[in-house]
Structure formats: structure tokens, C-alpha cells
Amino acid sequence: MATRKTLLIASGVAACLMLGAASGLLLIRATSSPPTPVDHRQDDEEAISGAKIAIENRFPEAQVDFGQSYVRWNQQVPSVCGRVDIVQEQDSFDGEGRYVSSPGQLLIEEADGSDVLSQKWGDVCA
């Protein structure tokens, strides 16, 4: 049978261990900061500007009028969704249409077709 002195020592050691663990957890919590909210406004402006340049470069001879554009983020990857009217000589395009610009891909409803664009629009912009 354990003696009273042994139980007292064991209790003291256990208390010290628990106190040390609690202090460590408090220290970790005190030194870690909550995640900083990401403000994508600057990134959004750059993504929209890049999409507009890509469209203008695809149709260098056309007059390009942009409607509303916005950015959707998938983790760290931006996709620009918006409306554009492309006017050029011998134009078969009729008015404003949608566009989606993602890294490595530019789809324009007036040039690439509604079916292709609608699929991407549903995946990214909706």
C-alpha cells in the first residue's frame, strides 16, 4: 500500500505537469494571432484590368465596350466575369455578351458560343 508521503509526492508531480501544460497552451494561444482577413480589392482591380487587356488584344481592330465586371475567387485563383460588347467591321456579333477570364483561359460569348461560355459561367460566376 502506498504511503501517504508517496501519494502526496505523486499528487504534487501531477499538479506541476498539469500546470505546465496549461501554461504552455496559454502561451501558444497568446502568441498566435487570428488569421488576417484578405482584402482582394487591389487584386480584383488587377484581375479585371488583365481580363480587359486580354479581350482587347484578342480583337485589336474592334471597338470594345465593357459592362459590369467582377471577380470570383476559388481559393487563391481569380476568375473575372463580366459583360462586353465587341463592335468591328463585318461584325456578326449582336450586342453585349458575357465573358469569363480565368488563368490560361478566356471565353467570350460572342466569339466562343453560348454553350461553352454558359458551362464555364455556371462553374465560376454563378
Query: Which residue range(s) make up the domain with 78?
Result: 41-124
7 with 54, same domain: the answer is: no
57 with 113, same domain: the answer is: yes
CB neighbourhood size of 3 (10 A): 8
Residues 26-61: tens digit of each pLDDT: 555 555 566 666 666 778 999 999 999 999 999 998
Q: Model-level pTM?
A: 0.66
114 with 64, same domain: the answer is: yes
* Side-chain-side CA neighbours of residue 66 (13 Å): 17
Q: Please state, rounded to an integer, the average pLDDT across all residues of the chain.
A: 80
Q: Left if phi > 0, otherwise alpha if psi is -120 to 50, otherwise beta: which for 24?
A: alpha
Residue 16: its pLDDT value, please?
46
Cell numbers for 28: 501558444
Residue 15: its pLDDT value, please?
47
